[in-house]
Structure 1
Amino acid sequence: MKVWARGRTSGLLALLLLVVVLVGLSVPLVSERVRCRTFGVGCDRPSGTPVAPAAALPGRLPLTPLEVASQGAYVALGDSFSSGEGAYALPDDLSPENRCHRTSRSYVHAVSRTFEFAGGTRFFACSGARTEHFFESKAGEPPQVEHVDAGTSLITLSIGGNDLGFTKVLAGCILTFPWSGGCRDQEAALEARKPALRQALAGIVRKLQERAPRARIIVLGYPRLFGEREGEALDNLGVDDQRWLNAEGRELNDLIHEVVRAADQELVRLGAPGSVEFIDVHSAFTGHEVGTGAPYVNGLDVDLKAFKAEFHSYHPNAAGYTALAELVTRQVQAGPGRQLNQWR
């Protein structure tokens, strides 16, 4: 009887050891539900199911917004309002080889100087870029998303104005007879382009999150260009035209903000790391619009020989980019106004 008891005990121990080994190897000896309930493994959640933030684990402290942003590389993407178009200080700023017109006055440099990024800074914003150039080559350069990887901790960008064709809209306003109403005749065409822009912006954010899931993504809007002073026409633009252009700029900013807010709310719902943040710069140039005594933005400058506007027309000057830099650096420090799910 003792021999039998020892044999039974040894057998039970061996069986228990086998079960533990198989569970550790995720061999489905028992159902997933039983394994989850009994051993705490095999509890996979369906895709998109919210997860509890890791804050509950003892001894873990949240990273500050700045720590999250600076733990890897800073990558600056987008269009001319991020490349620095309109403000030139060095010969390279206007070099023919600088086909993206990345200048020494862009707000990107101020951000890079203000904070120490463990992975350095990469500057790839390109004048004239549209949403498609995040996925396609422009000016002989790779698609912008390819500059982002898992080591990226901060991304800044501005995009959308070229998709709506604001340069052409401005030209259409300026080249009409004064107060003809031809400027606002373009409204239907602008509205028709907005759904595609909304979808493209959402696609860009998703791709950036996929390539850099722990990064803070900061998207800038666009500044108001005109002060709407009563009775003051500028560059063949009546006050009504200036107000209409400002209102269209506000609507573009609202569209961008809605896309950004939805993406960040999804991160919150999932308890995921990273963030998607919006900087509303619509009023950043208040008191310094086109035509003021100390403008932050260039007015119209026409190349009479080619009969075309110079690139710097209606783009920020050095003071304008300084104002944008202050808003960006403030946002990097402040964060999205919620807990970021990254921990020490």
Structure 2
Amino acid sequence: MAGPGTWPARVRARVGDRGLAVALLLVLLAAAIVPLVALPAVRCEVFGAGCRAPLPGVQARAAARDHGEALTPVQIATRGAYAALGDSYSAGVGAEEGLADQNPLSKCDRTSRAYYHTVAKTFSFAGGSSFWACSGATTADIRDGKSGEPSQLSRLSEGTSLVTISVGGNDIGFAKIMAGCVVKLPWSKGCEKQGGDIADRMAALRESLPQLISKVTARAPGARVLVMGYPRPFSEISVTGGDNLTLDDQRWLNGRARDLNELIRQAVAEADQHIVAAHGQGSVEFVDAYNAFSGHEAGSSDPYMNGLSVNLGALAAEPRSYHPTAKGQDALARLFVDQIDKGPGRPLGQPS
């Protein structure tokens, strides 16, 4: 036992038994709390100040890394930024909604009903999202810029985790092909006589599209790149009033859309194989939209595709002709959302 001159005895003499008990309790509590408060999560919970919850993508990535697990397709797509690139089908031409989509300062015709907006709202992207698709863009325009805007490729970086894009229709001259079918004059080629010109442009696209995809994946090496095909415009069941197209014309035009989609599909598959062979982190995935408007083609009772609209003053077709309506853009959005959820059908890279 401690004698009267020991430390406990001296303290007891000064504060009494009850005071000593309180002092010892405070010492024990301090010993237990201080190490815990040093941990950030506990510090946030106890004091509720100076703390910020990690972004969902960062949090999921850290958890997967700690457990040695691969990220899910959605986690891969949302851990960084989303960039929407492409041509008029991605810009939303044909789905304009009132004055909100009348922007004279931009010649790219991006609209408020483009599928981009649904994708951006459906998922939480840790790095945010941005919309750069431009009406009339070719593979060269996406690479170099168009309508006074810089290269769409310049919008990508190592922090980009999702890219959506449609491209190729302008490279093969879709508008020119349609005009050749619709305008039946003695000196016009009609539909089928355009075959040679289309073949030449398709051959050029077989070179330019893989090159473009390669540049996209080089600038955003960890991204999932979703490349959309084009929807079939016609039902091949009935003649659409006012567009001067026969059923044979419809079948021929649908066939060219199918050929274009197959070219895009092959380019996408080859690009993804290159990523796998190089043990890359991202992916290139084809979004098959060919049958997206089945039962809702141009001229149907509930069309997802605009029919022919003519500007009589300029004697020219309106840009919205044979482009998706607002409902068509909604249908395309569902395809993208499903693909983001589903993934490329192969394992994606491990978290780094």
* TM-score, with structure 1 as normaliser: 0.80
1:92 to partner: Cα distance = 3.6
Q: Does 1:124 align with 2:132?
A: yes
Equivalent position SS for 2:349:
coil
Q: Does 1:172 align with 2:149?
A: no
The 2-side partners of 1:262 and 1:86 are apart by 32
Contact kept, 8 Å, 1:77 with 1:125, in 2: the verdict is yes
Equivalent position SS for 1:156:
strand
Q: Does 1:69 align with 2:102?
A: no
Number of positions where the alignment pairs a residue of Structure 1 with one of Structure 2: 287
Instruction: Tell me what 1:197 maps to.
Output: 205
Q: In the alignment, residue 281 of structure 1 is paired with which amino acid?
A: A
The 1-side partners of 2:96 and 2:209 are apart by 29
The 1-side partners of 2:320 and 2:88 are apart by 10
Q: Does 1:88 align with 2:96?
A: yes
Structure 1 unaligned spans of 5+: 1-56
Equivalent position SS for 1:160:
coil
Instruction: Tell me what 2:226 maps to.
Output: 218
Equivalent position SS for 1:226:
coil
Instruction: Tell me what 2:57 maps to.
Output: none
Residues 1-344 of structure 1: pairs in structure 2 closer than 5 A: 59-177=67-185, 182-229=190-237, 235-343=243-351
Equivalent position SS for 1:336:
coil
| Percent of matched pairs sharing the same residue | 49
Instruction: Tell me what 2:4 maps to.
Output: none
Structure 2 unaligned spans of 5+: 1-64
Bigger Rg, structure 1 or 2: 2
Q: In the alignment, residue 322 of structure 2 is paired with which amino acid?
A: Y
Q: In the alignment, residue 204 of structure 1 is paired with which amino acid?
A: L
1:177 to partner: Cα distance = 4.8
1:181 to partner: Cα distance = 7.1
Q: In the alignment, residue 138 of structure 2 is paired with which amino acid?
A: R
Query: Relative CO higher for 1 or 2, CA cutoff 8 Å, sep ≥ 6?
Result: 1
The 2-side partners of 1:142 and 1:270 are apart by 30
Q: In the alignment, residue 202 of structure 1 is paired with which amino acid?
A: P
1:271 to partner: Cα distance = 1.9
The 2-side partners of 1:255 and 1:334 are apart by 23
1:311 to partner: Cα distance = 1.2
1:59 to partner: Cα distance = 4.8
Task: Say if 1:68 and 1:83 are closer, same or farther in 2 by CA, change over 3 A.
Answer: same
Contact kept, 8 Å, 1:92 with 1:98, in 2: the verdict is no
Q: Provide runs of 4+ in structure 1 moved above 3 Å.
A: 230-234
Q: In the alignment, residue 219 of structure 1 is paired with which amino acid?
A: V
Equivalent position SS for 1:164:
coil
Structural RMSD (CA): 1.8
Task: Say if 1:58 and 1:270 are closer, same or farther in 2 by CA, change over 3 A.
Answer: farther
The 1-side partners of 2:93 and 2:332 are apart by 13
* TM-score, with structure 2 as normaliser: 0.79
Q: Which moved more, 1:169-178 or 1:253-262?
A: 169-178
The 1-side partners of 2:240 and 2:148 are apart by 42
The 1-side partners of 2:334 and 2:191 are apart by 33
1:230 to partner: Cα distance = 5.2
Equivalent position SS for 1:162:
coil
Q: In the alignment, residue 222 of structure 2 is paired with which amino acid?
A: R
Deviations 1:76-132 (A, max 9, x none): 000000000001114241222231000000000000000000010010000000010
Task: Say if 1:227 and 1:76 are closer, same or farther in 2 by CA, change over 3 A.
Answer: same
Deviations 1:191-235 (A, max 9, x none): 011121111111111111111110000000000000001566661
1:261 to partner: Cα distance = 0.2
